[in-house]
Chains A and B, each alone.
Chain A
Amino acid sequence: MIVGERKPMGEILEMIAPHEKVLLLGCGTCVTVCLAGGEREVGILAAQLRIHAKKEGKDLQIEEHTIERQCENEWVDEIKSRVEGVDAVMSMACGVGVQLVAEMYPEKAILPALNTTFMGYPVQHGTWLENCRGCGNCVLHLSGGVCPITRCAKSLMNGPCGGSQDGKCEIDEDIECAWQVIYERLKSGGRLDWMNNYQPPRNWSTAGSGGPRKSVKIEEVVD
């Protein structure tokens, strides 16, 4: 899923300051599951903003609403009348959702409440780990199901660097060395050839270095 974290309160208050009526818009998909921008978090942030405004003696109306997905226009289209009634929309979706809301309501101030952090899964309740960088050229079938692009701090492709010790990455002892994990998995499966062989420089043009990416499923496109 796409993982996000709420922005620092100072930033949020600064964004909200010029507005008097704000729609706090949650998203029911990834950010609900990662406990960053679903209905519950909307309720909490809305209460915080109201308390702050009241404390400061400011007029601030916060409307709370959560839609199924902010990344698909059918859902975003449904909130038209709510958006029309406010000065600004503070979206608690990932950056994708924020951009679609901004695209569909270009005349409104659209404010991001979250920092979109990465794509990953939870390793325990409340802790998520980055697993995929969307590089557009997957090697997981070769790398024992562990992504070296994402989980190696240097995105190395030819095995661990000299900083790998006791299974830990040189940048932080809380980070496991992805290549240690890859090595163990490949070894146990008798598939070390890939790791032993020279891997040429990667094609990063599919990974965002080639510019903004677009995916077209030609069979689905309606002319």
Chain B
Amino acid sequence: MNITDNQTAIVRLSSIAAAALFIQQGVEPVAQMTVRDRNRIAIQSDILGAAALGIKNVLCLSGDHQKFGNHPNAKNVFDIDSMNLLRMLKDMRDEKRFECGDEMDVEPRLFLGAAANPFADPFEFRVQRLAKKIDAGADFIQSQGIYDIERFEKWLDAARDAGLTDKVYILGGVIPLKSAGAARYIKNKVAGMIVPDSIIDRMKNASDGKAEGIKIAIETVRRLKEMKGVSGVHIMAIEWEEKVSEIAEGAGLPRRSGPA
């Protein structure tokens, strides 16, 4: 269960507060943390707070530029980048040190996640960047939403050849499509995503677009399950959360314990 940190730079309930509420409900969340809105001081403070509230899983991200959000005039921070964030949190956990080198008494016990996007350019660098993120401290990886499964597989093969898949848990990202229009929008307007024409055609020709979208998502999860080096999936049913269990069950994933 991923809790986003003001995704697309739209103000939302704080990811740490929301994640703490989930923990109270018995669900283990992944709290997302971006470097867009906080400098290293605020991030470290928030992480200590998160750890105190029982949050373990933190996904370290750059964050969408505020230009895309509801406060485009805001000053961005980007004091450090997502790579630095991983290293900083790893050092807090493993070395009991703040970024400045000062020691702390009690370290936050974290399981650190990072994003990887095999669909962004330059493609060859994406594996190298994955290696850098692992080296910086990533324990698990969540990929961008996968529609071009061949490209994802090519990336995964290269990562496996580089010995990276043994060092990190990779979760494939799956975003179910609601319509052909949504597929075209993602293809043309969302930076860093690839939607092959075959997917758009399937959505266009389907009598029930939504059902087709779920079907494609289930097929994607099934393909990912078979890939060596993929440890799990991350289903991002955006404003369609009720479909997550349908996709999971359809793909034959084990039922999660606790409330959905």
Asked if chains A and B are in direct contact (CB within 8 A), the reply is: yes
Determine whether the beta carbon of A203 is less than 8 Å from that of B65: no
A-B pairs under 8 A by CB, number: 21
Asked whether any CB of chain A lies closer than 8 Å to the CB of B52, the reply is no
Q: How far is the CB of A106 from chain B (nearest CB, A)?
A: 17
Determine the chain A residues whose CB is within 8 A of the CB of B76 once the complex forms.
204, 209
Number of A interface residues, CB 8 Å?
9
* Cα A211 to Cα B75 with chains together (Å): 11
Least CB separation from B78: chain A residue: A209
Q: What 1/0 mask marks residues of chain B from 61 to 72 whose CB sits below 8 Å from any chain A CB? A: 000011100001
Determine the chain A residues whose CB is within 8 A of the CB of B45 once the complex forms.
none
Least CB separation from A155: chain B residue: B75
Cβ-defined partner of A211 (8 Å) among B65, B73, B74: B65
* Cα A203 to Cα B74 with chains together (Å): 6
Cβ-defined partner of B72 (8 Å) among A202, A207, A210: A210
Asked whether any CB of chain B lies closer than 8 Å to the CB of A201, the reply is yes
Determine whether the beta carbon of A204 is less than 8 Å from that of B65: no
Determine the chain B residues whose CB is within 8 A of the CB of A209 once the complex forms.
66, 74-76
* Cα A201 to Cα B67 with chains together (Å): 16
Asked whether any CB of chain B lies closer than 8 Å to the CB of A205, the reply is yes
* Cα A181 to Cα B73 with chains together (Å): 28
Cβ-defined partner of B67 (8 Å) among A202, A207, A210: A210
Determine whether the beta carbon of A204 is less than 8 Å from that of B75: yes
* Cα A211 to Cα B73 with chains together (Å): 11
Cβ-defined partner of A207 (8 Å) among B65, B66, B75: B75
Determine the chain B residues whose CB is within 8 A of the CB of A207 once the complex forms.
75
Determine the chain B residues whose CB is within 8 A of the CB of A211 once the complex forms.
65, 67
* Cα A205 to Cα B76 with chains together (Å): 9
Extra contacts besides A201-B74, A209-B74, A210-B67 (4): CB < 8 Å = A201-B73, A202-B75, A204-B73, A211-B67
Tell me the B residues contacting A by CB distance below 8 Å.
65-67, 72-76
A-B pairs with beta carbons under 8 Å apart, 10 shown: A201-B73, A203-B73, A204-B73, A204-B76, A205-B67, A205-B72, A207-B75, A209-B66, A209-B75, A210-B72
